[in-house]
Structure 1
Amino acid sequence: MTRYRNLALFLFLAAVWGSAFMAIKAGLAYFPPVLFAAVRYDIAGVVMLAYAVYVVDDPVPRGRTQWAVVAVGSLLLIAGYHALLFVGETDPAVTSAAAAVIVSLSPVLTTGFARLFLPGERLTTVGTVGLLLGLVGVVVLTRPDPNDLLGGGAVAKLLVFAAATAFALGSVLTRKLDSDIPIETMEAWSMVGGALALHLVSLGLGESPAAVVWTVESVTALLYLSVAASAVGFLVYFDLLDRLGPIEINLVSYVAPVFAALSGWLFLAEVPTAYTVVGFALIFAGFVLVKHRTVRDELPRLRRRGRAFFAGDD
């Protein structure tokens, strides 16, 4: 059952993080970017800290290693990633398609960092081909304009790339530290620390709370990002990171665009095109190649269960 639980959690995380792109776009119309990220994690941090106090016997990090894990989570996974991403996406030259392609490089970057810091976390040749095939699928799905990717907004695009780099490095370092800190404690304190760092950056950039426009749409976007995408999403992420490793869990950045496209179709009447179908197929094929050993081991079990089902056995 563990393998199916991991798959279900992985798909849930991809769905939540994929649909969060709509909430981010909606919120940026009402909030200064870094302040938006900071308030998001103010709420998420309080929610997760309360949850950690409830479920963990000792919700305060202990020892140098546990606090090091919290520091990595705060500075790289929370503050670094979101500050760079949100500021980068405010540039009109950085389209959603271009940003999605750049962020989807996270698994490739994670693989590179893992080779440096985690010698045991290696992809096979087939897995590497699958990783690159999945990236091609994301490119097809988002249909970026090559002229737009290469021209204009160079600094903003570098910021988005830096965001993906920060997240990939944070994932690997969190795994390398190998602390016994409870996931709930790590997530809660990382969000609190990340929110503090984001507020400091926001102040440094001269962002003002007076610039925030409070509407039903802005509050809805903020709450969805704070609770669903941040508190619940990162709880699932860190759980899967511990079980799957940084390379496999960061494949969520390949699958998330699928759910982003689906949510756009459901809520924004964006009709899927042939590019969408081909992109989905390539992403799926790439994921199968990366997980080819698991798929190979699972097929006999599925065949046996299928025969038992049609034979009327339990």
Structure 2
Amino acid sequence: MSAVLTSPGPAARPSLLVPALLACYLIWGSTYLAIRFALESLPPFLQMGTRFLVAGSLLMAWLAWRSKDPWPTAVEWRNALVIGTLMLGGGMGLCAASEQYIGSGLIAAFIAVSPMVNSGWGLFFGQKPTRMEFAGMAVGVAGVLLLVRGASFAASPVGIACVAGAVLTWTLASVLTTTKLPLARGAMGFASEMLCGGAVLMVVSLALGEQAVLPLQPVSIAAWLYLVVFGSLIAFSAYMYLLAHATPAVATSYAFVNPVIALLLGVFVGSEHVTGGEWAACGVILAGVLLIFRGKSGSS
């Protein structure tokens, strides 16, 4: 998951545009399966907490060495704590927790409704959706209802509660960071968010008494490293490049691709079972996402 920003920029050079798109498509689409593999040794909140503390520390250290951007102010650190608690503590922590009960591909399909929930939260901040966005929200809700009636979700109400909570907290943070609680500029804001969110995740992990399963399985170690380096650093850098140099439609097109990649990887690599009805429900959800993006494009 990633917050959807909509700042247009100049056209990107084709030589860099394609690698950046592939990074967002393939890496973010594969992180759902990586989370599932890491769960073999690392419980959800411990896994996410260590991931974001390490990634945030690496990014902050690199910025301190190379960047001339100012450090976050006290207010921006406060905002990072709130956004990090919601987006990473709630969004990513609960996402990982849900994968203890439901296949990674289906989790990704459920999370595809995030743009619709974003539009719903916007109502509380004076952002009235267009008719096309309302239509997309309705289609997306229908797709989710179909999805949760499938065997995988129906067998796990705890999993449904976790992934629904993840979507709600993630999207609320996405709206707040663009309306009420802005982060520090550029990568410095994301680094501060990861550090704060990682700290909150570790507090939750300690409160729940989570412990790693020792000895750590090699697949868990590899998955965790992949999430830190590729999921949190490389893919995010690619996304920031797209936001700065490509159109919003291109930069946020990962929302259509990630669920498909996650489903395919879950089925063919993770041996997850997806029924025909669940595939159909995923198609309905993606149709709703398309309507949301068409509505946003038409109103911009």
The interval holding the TM-score normalised by the smaller chain is 0.7 to 0.9
3-state DSSP class of the match of 1:2? Answer: coil
Q: Which residue of 1 aligns with 2:189?
A: 186
Distance 1:102 1:284 in 2: 10
Q: Distance in 2 between matches of 1:11 and 1:287?
A: 20
Deviations 1:119-170 (A, max 9, x none): 2xx4422244345556777888xx76535434x4323321221111110001
Instruction: Verify: 1:222 aligned to 2:211, yes or no.
Output: no
Q: Secondary structure at the match of 2:41?
A: coil
Match 1:129 to one of 135, 142, 146: 135
The structure with the greater share of residues assigned to helix is 1
Code of the aligned partner of 2:108: A
Aligned to 1:116: 124
Aligned to 1:62: 73
Q: Which runs of 5+ in 2 are unaligned?
A: 1-8
Q: Which moved more, 1:246-255 or 1:16-25?
A: 246-255
Partner residue, 2:56: 45
Distance in 2 (CA, whole Å) between partners of 1:104 and 1:123 is 18
Structure 1 residues 271 and 165: alpha-carbon distance in aligned structure 2, compared to 1, 3 A threshold: closer
Query: Which residue does the alignment assign to 2:94?
Result: 84
CA separation of 1:279 and 1:115: change in aligned 2, threshold 3 A: same
Q: 1:239 to 1:115 in 2, by over 3 A?
A: farther
RMSD: 4.1
Looking at CA atoms only, which structure, 1 or 2, has the larger radius of gyration?
A: 1
1:139-150 alignment, distance < 5 Å: 146-150=150-154
1:75 to 85, 92, 95: 85
The correspondence for 2:160, drawn from 140, 157, 160, is 157
Please tell me the residue identity of whatever aligns with 1:16: I
* Percent of matched pairs sharing the same residue: 27
How far residue 23 of structure 1 moved from its aligned partner, in angstroms, is 0.8
How much has 1:244 moved relative to structure 2? 9.9
**C-alpha deviations, 1:257-310, integer Å up to 9, x for none?**
1122344577569999988997887677655544448989xxxxxxxxxxxxxx
Per mean C-alpha deviation after superposition, the further-off stretch among 122-131 and 197-206 is 122-131
The answer for the alignment partner of 2:39 in structure 1 is: 28
- Gap regions ≥5 residues in structure 1: 297-314
**How far apart are the structure 2 equivalents of 1:234 and 1:45?**
12
What is the SS of the residue equivalent to 1:232? helix
